[in-house]
Structure 1
Amino acid sequence: MKVVGIITEYNPFHKGHKYHIEEAKKITGADYLVAVMSGNFVQRGSPAIINKYDRAMMALNNGVDLVLELPVCYATGSAQYFALGAVALLNQLGIVDYLCFGSECGNIKLLEDAAKLFYKSSESFDNILYSYIRKGLSYPAAREKAAKDLLKADTQIISEPNNILAIEYIRALLLLNSSIKPITIKRNKAHYHDKELKNDISSATAIRSILQNSKNPAEFSPVKNSVTNCVYDYFIKNYNRRFPITMEDFSSIIKYKLTYESNRKLTEYLDLSSDLVDRIKNIDIQNYDIESLMQIIKSKNITLTRVSRALIHILLNIKKKDFKEYIDDEIIYYGRILGMKKEASHLIRKIKEYERIPIITKVSKADKQLSSLGMSMLNQDILASHLYNQVVFEKFKISIPNEFKHGICIL
């Protein structure tokens, strides 16, 4: 039995994702595909446009056999920690043979060379990196320049978003001494940041833009060629009933915490430096919506993505101290199943046989399976989902069962 793992968000699911699933199985000859998927909050520092259970069903309907949730502390982390958490989860399952991911370059050798450079993090690399930071560059921009200097490659490999994640996936495999083999698929047609729809494969960014800015389902027709039929049917039936959810829907809670909490308390949250907190506190936040506020907060060396992640970490009570404890100990403490196909049920039995990680099928019984650190991590997932579900109810008057009542999605 061969199993290939993928790491994803499906925010929302589109034909590019379908292509990835089909190619991953084809290239590796895998019998089953396991997806580690972000829950209700995603890596760019925002809520998912559609809740995690509906996105898990989209995945199952389009070729995924088993969907596990990436804990929210990693799902909303930087590329390095997003990758580390997801790879650690796949590794701990004990059944995964391959990790397949998309990249702009499509060259596994180039990606591995870059990953090894970051993994070793030589003194010369650090010296060049911090020389660029002292010149006022943001950390991502400084790292890109330092890596290009040392790799001596005339390429955008360090700056393209999927390449960056690919490098971090390989780096995580090295760090964990994992036997999982990395495989890359060249990203075709739509670029990650493309805001314009294509005829076939479009970016999730472009699709979200249509979904968020349309006044009714009749205006969704431009995205029809970019998504599978079952996903498009979901859009038509559930618009303004279960989605879209945006950052602005959490505006009141975020602004309350920014106003109520002291500078010292705010610096306890992940991705919040004292400089960033001072910058936030000097703004009359009540005068701006969240998107405008983030634009004002960002600066030359503080990216918009970092700002949005910081606000999400404040919203979800994700603190530096807790995160450091997770990383310094086991990194990942459980595998939470969101959905599965009936014919893949033996995968769960196989994972349990290895006894490398507790598998959670019922949140109500998790306290009997997990350590105190594991429960701390899971409680952050529970809080995130309950906040998300509350916003769905307030916006659409639709109740999504809470984490103690919602069962696994089964196809």
Structure 2
Amino acid sequence: MKAVGVIVEYNPFHNGHAFHVQAARETANADIVIAVMSGNFLQRGEPALVSKWYRTKMALLGGVDLVFELPYPFATQNAELFADGAVSILDAVQCESFCFGSESGDISSFLRTIDFLKEHQEIFDENVKRHIKSGVSYPKALSLSFQEFPETDGLLNLAKPNNILGFQYIKSIKKLNSQIKPLTVARKNANYHDEHFASETIASATSIRKALFSTDKHSFTIEQFVPEQTNELLKAYSNRYGTFHQWENYWSFLQFRIIQSSPEELRKIYEVEEGIENRLKAAALTSGNFQEFMEKVKTKRYTWTRLQRICVHILTNATKEEMSKFERANYLRLLGMTQKGKAYLNKRKFELTLPLVSKLSSYKQKEIMLDIKAAQIYAFGLSENLRNEFIQQEFKQTPIILE
């Protein structure tokens, strides 16, 4: 059986994702699609709209055959480390190819850009350092440094978010010395950060989340942009738990963590650097909600995304010491599968290069503790009477099997 991999968040799964899954299967001429999906906290430093289990159901109903969780130490990282963790999982489950969405849609432009920057690496690195010293963020420094080269015709536009991720994916494949073949398809209609609906059927996850949070009662005005199964699962989650997850659900807990921590304790948290702990404490003492807090902490050097990731790490108490231990994934946490996915695992189980985890009680290694802690903290976005049940699900839930 031939497998193509995708790296996803599905926050939530929408029509654009359904297009990508089908395009990946067809472009790779694959029998099954394997997704590496972020858990309950995401790459942009946000809590997922609904739990990883509900998002797994959306993925399986949307055409994915196997869903593996991207561990917390990679899911809540910059693009380079996010890519390293996800690609290492796809490599471990024996994917022949990997397909990602991009603004470019042309895999040759990615490969040319990789070769170009390798040839000019020293100059590029110096330019990046110079821009960072001027006070801009790391992603902006990368984009500005690339634009300074006089001849970039036929190369990638590294100012686009999905192009940047795709570029890092291919770098990770090369770093891992993997035989995975990279493929890309053009993103359809909606851009990654669009906050408004861009067409009659395709919208970004950002705009869908904005619509869901537009009223206190969560009026469902997104039916045309998501598969019917996604819409039903979102309704079911809202009815069951009374909320969708967003940063404001966690503000009081984050505020407490920052206020009760000393600057020395905050400096031990992953990504807390350059005295930002003092700004965090000052803002926490004077802010009434998460949005106000972020606006007070935001600087030119620190992107909104990086600050949100810092907040996630404070919330989960993820330290520099803990996070620095992870260079690639150490296990395969299986979240769900179709019958075809199950058949693939049965056929390839002796070829997997990492231990397969289908139930937490069967895996005692301490490296999974960050995932467990993240799931427990995520439960605090719910009302008190639902938290314990939600926390226990992390230990009791077996992989979802789509019959």
TM-score range, shorter chain: over 0.9
Distance between the aligned counterparts of 2:363 and 2:279, measured in 1? 40
Q: Are residues 1:207 and 2:208 paired?
A: yes
CA contact (8 A) 1:114 1:151 kept: no
TM-score normalized by structure 2? 0.93
Q: CA deviation at 1:115?
A: 3.3
1:381 corresponds in structure 2 to: 371
1:339 corresponds in structure 2 to: 336
CA contact (8 A) 1:42 1:48 kept: yes
CA contact (8 A) 2:258 2:284 kept: no
Give the letter for the 2:321 counterpart: K
What SS does the corresponding residue of 1:235 show, helix, strand or coil?
Answer: helix
Q: 1:395 to 1:191 in 2, by over 3 A?
A: farther
Q: CA deviation at 1:104?
A: 0.4
CA contact (8 A) 1:385 1:402 kept: no
- Between 1:36-45 and 1:274-283, the stretch displaced more is 274-283
Q: 1:118 to 1:265 in 2, by over 3 A?
A: farther
Distance between the aligned counterparts of 2:160 and 2:285, measured in 1? 33
CA contact (8 A) 1:74 1:86 kept: yes
2:393 corresponds in structure 1 to: 402
- Cα RMSD after superposing both structures: 2.0
1:124 corresponds in structure 2 to: 123
Q: 1:316 to 1:183 in 2, by over 3 A?
A: same
Q: 1:116 to 1:313 in 2, by over 3 A?
A: farther
Once the two structures are superposed, the pairs formed by residues 217-366 of structure 1 within 5 Å of their partners are 219-221=219-221, 223-242=222-241, 243-327=243-327, 331-366=328-363
Q: CA deviation at 1:343?
A: 3.1
1:203-257 deviation per Cα after TM superposition (whole angstroms, max 9, x unaligned): 000000111223335x313x11100111112233332533411111111221111
Structure 1 regions of 5+ residues with no counterpart?
Answer: none
Aligned residues: 398
Q: 1:404 to 1:117 in 2, by over 3 A?
A: farther
Give the letter for the 2:293 counterpart: L
CA contact (8 A) 2:72 2:371 kept: yes
Q: 1:118 to 1:291 in 2, by over 3 A?
A: farther
Structure 2 regions of 5+ residues with no counterpart?
Answer: none
Between the two proteins, what is the percent identity of the paired residues?
Answer: 34
Give the letter for the 1:205 counterpart: T
Distance between the aligned counterparts of 2:319 and 2:120, measured in 1? 26
Q: Are residues 1:173 and 2:173 paired?
A: yes
Give the letter for the 2:372 counterpart: I
1:253-281 deviation per Cα after TM superposition (whole angstroms, max 9, x unaligned): 21111111121221222211032112223
Q: CA deviation at 1:150?
A: 3.2
Distance between the aligned counterparts of 1:406 and 1:81, measured in 2? 28
What SS does the corresponding residue of 1:115 show, helix, strand or coil?
Answer: helix
Q: CA deviation at 1:118?
A: 5.6
Q: CA deviation at 1:283?
A: 2.7
Give the letter for the 1:53 counterpart: W
Q: 1:202 to 1:128 in 2, by over 3 A?
A: same
CA contact (8 A) 1:338 1:408 kept: yes
CA contact (8 A) 1:340 1:410 kept: yes
Q: CA deviation at 1:366?
A: 0.2
